[in-house]
Amino acid sequence: MKKCIKSALCAVLIFLLITGCTNTLSDDSAGKNESKTNGHEPITIVTFGRNYEPLKKALKKVYPEINLEIISYKGRNSSRYTTTLLKTDNAPDIFTSVHRIDEKLQKEKLLSLSGYSFVSKYDMSVLNHADVDGSIYLLPNGYTISGIFYNKTLFQKHNWEVPKSFKELQQLVPKIKEAGVTVSVSENQYPGNAFTYLFTLGATNFLSTQDGVRWKNDFILGKADASGDFKQCAQYLQKWIDLGMLNYSEELHDDSKAEEYFAQGNTAFLMKISPFRVSQNDDGTGDQYGGLPWLSEDGSNNVALTNSSRYFGLNKNLEKNPQKLEDALKIMEFLSTEEGQLAALENPKKDSIVLPLKEFDSSVNDIYKSLEKSVEEGKVIPLVYTGWEDYLEPIGSAVIEQESGKLDADQLVEKINTIQKKTITEGGAEIYADVEETLTLEETAHLVGTAYAAKTNADCALISLGEYHGDKKENPFGVNGCLFKGIKINAEELCAVNPAGWSDTIYTMKLTGNEIKQLAKTGYDLFNDGNPFPYVLITKEGSKLDDDVTYTVVCNETTDTVAKQGKLKNAGVTGQQALIDYLKKIKKVNLETIRWK
């Protein structure tokens, strides 16, 4: 599985569908900004969950004159926020995305790369499928293929055969339980995960047929519902739930906690939609992990899931600044080399990824070898997000209900039909409010704090902000994104700026006015390194706090020390619901309505 695997992947993976404020982010959350040196203004790039320090260092060796400015976004919905930045003309110079962008938007907002020599370094199959009316706007970074992960060490210890079909999996699970081993842990932090479980398992039967392909298009257009043949997808999903392969628990709903649980060494399978490491420890020691495809009933239509690391493009506004454009093109040139591709991937092991370059060849690890048959047969399924943006959250949430035992297969189908009717009737996902004025990061935090306080009857709120503090030091618990004028806030847009994400609950504490003011002054020292992230303190009508009076303060996260000091208490409501309720009340977002009155 060498060059042929790379070519097969490139042909399929390009279809991956995974999902004023920029100046504020640059000034306030870049931490240590790059200043203009030697006449070269900084070229901006947003993290979106990626550590670009290796790229920055590698780039500096080749082009010492280029200043790459890394801007932080550690929010909970980077796929939506990337598109929002582009739509509202707030995108960074180097545009990055984890999914392909709408073709019309590419043409309007991104620079055509077709005439530049570095494009010829990519595999022809990539260029063919990246074509937008004869032009190339986005070029991919490395690809991975993944399936269901299992603990190879446990399998070898108990002499278990790796299943090649769902029927074989059914025969294996009782043996796993008899050995006192947990069958599986599932990642369900984001509704998109659960949505993908349904559609990936569905691709092992109905959705991979011509009728299934037509159904997906017809469903989005409102010409077909989830009744009929699609029901077998929901029924097959139920079999995986009943077997214990897919499950939901409040304790492990956070993806990192699910992975940590699997890594403890007494769980047979890990269900997730993105790649995972090959061993228990990063240095290769400990339990070894393997992968198997998403299994069909009899094993005749097993599929692998493809994931693109990133797509890179250039902001069209660079044409207004020749010097910045020249530097940005050099960066794209560097990203089109093996060295640049690997640096953008945080210097991974070469055997864990496939690069879309003509000259790249790679041996593969055992996880990839186990998926070789599915890839060679063309049974490779991309994430199905584009076109389904209005359905990701409600259908994904419904699947989580099914995993939790609140719905069966027939009820899931009924709920999907209800979701479709509601979405079509309302012209898309439910809109909670319209943004009339662009909010800065601090102003967005003010809105969040006001909503949290209103929901919990708190006296004040402390909301931290996202900033870039260097290598892998970002704040996932703060407000990382802004709300832009003209945006209609639905669940996806809201999650992009809500520090509590889709489903995290918020908390209250009892602290004196003096303690609260000290926290607001010192900030949120997440990494205990003396370099805290700033807090925004929100009080009703901007009122001052008395030092000696004890107040109820609402927050999303805080340090262990402060949590103990303030007797941290779960408020029993998610941050998302608190914001939804507040936005439905105010309907219009502007500097006046975000004030706590």
pLDDT of 74-131, one tens digit each?
Answer: 998 888 899 999 999 999 999 999 777 888 999 999 999 999 999 999 988 778 778 8
Checking if the pLDDT of 19 tops 70, the result is no
Assigned CATH topology for domain 3-140+308-378: D-Maltodextrin-Binding Protein; domain 2 (3.40.190)
Domain residue spans in the chain?
A: 3-140+308-378, 146-303+385-425, 433-589
Sheet strands side by side (includes 311-314): 68-71, 43-46, 94-97, 311-314, 139-140
Q: Which amino acid is at 138?
A: L
Domains 3-140+308-378 and 433-589 share a fold: no
On whether the CB atoms of residues 302 and 168 are closer than 8 A, the answer is no
Checking if the pLDDT of 11 tops 50, the result is no
Cα dihedral 478, 32, 92, 142 sign: negative
* pLDDT number for residue 25: 46
More confident residue, 89 or 28: 89
* pLDDT number for residue 386: 63
Secondary structure (H, E, C), 383-435: CECCCCHHHHHHHHHHHHHHHCCCCCHHHHHHHHHHHHHHHHHCCCCCCCEEE
* pLDDT number for residue 594: 95
Checking if the pLDDT of 546 tops 70, the result is yes
Region 251-271: mean pLDDT is 92
Q: Which of 19-33, 190-204, 207-221, 408-422 has the lowest mean pLDDT?
A: 19-33
Question: For the chain, how many residues are written?
Answer: 597
Region 320-337: mean pLDDT is 97
* pLDDT number for residue 284: 85
* pLDDT number for residue 2: 41
CATH code assigned to 146-303+385-425: 3.40.190.10
Please state which architecture CATH assigns to domain 433-589: Alpha-Beta Complex (3.90)
Q: Quick one: pLDDT band at residue 283, thresholds 50, 70, 90?
A: confident
* pLDDT number for residue 126: 75
Q: Which of 140-144, 189-193, 317-321 has the lowest mean pLDDT?
A: 140-144
* pLDDT number for residue 350: 53
Region 552-560: mean pLDDT is 93
pTM: 0.77
Considering only the C-alpha atoms of the chain, give the largest distance between any 2 of them, rounded to a whole number of Å.
71
Residue 219: CB atoms within 10 A of its CB come to 19
pLDDT of 345-385, one tens digit each?
Answer: 876 655 557 788 888 765 555 666 677 667 667 677 666 66
* pLDDT number for residue 403: 96
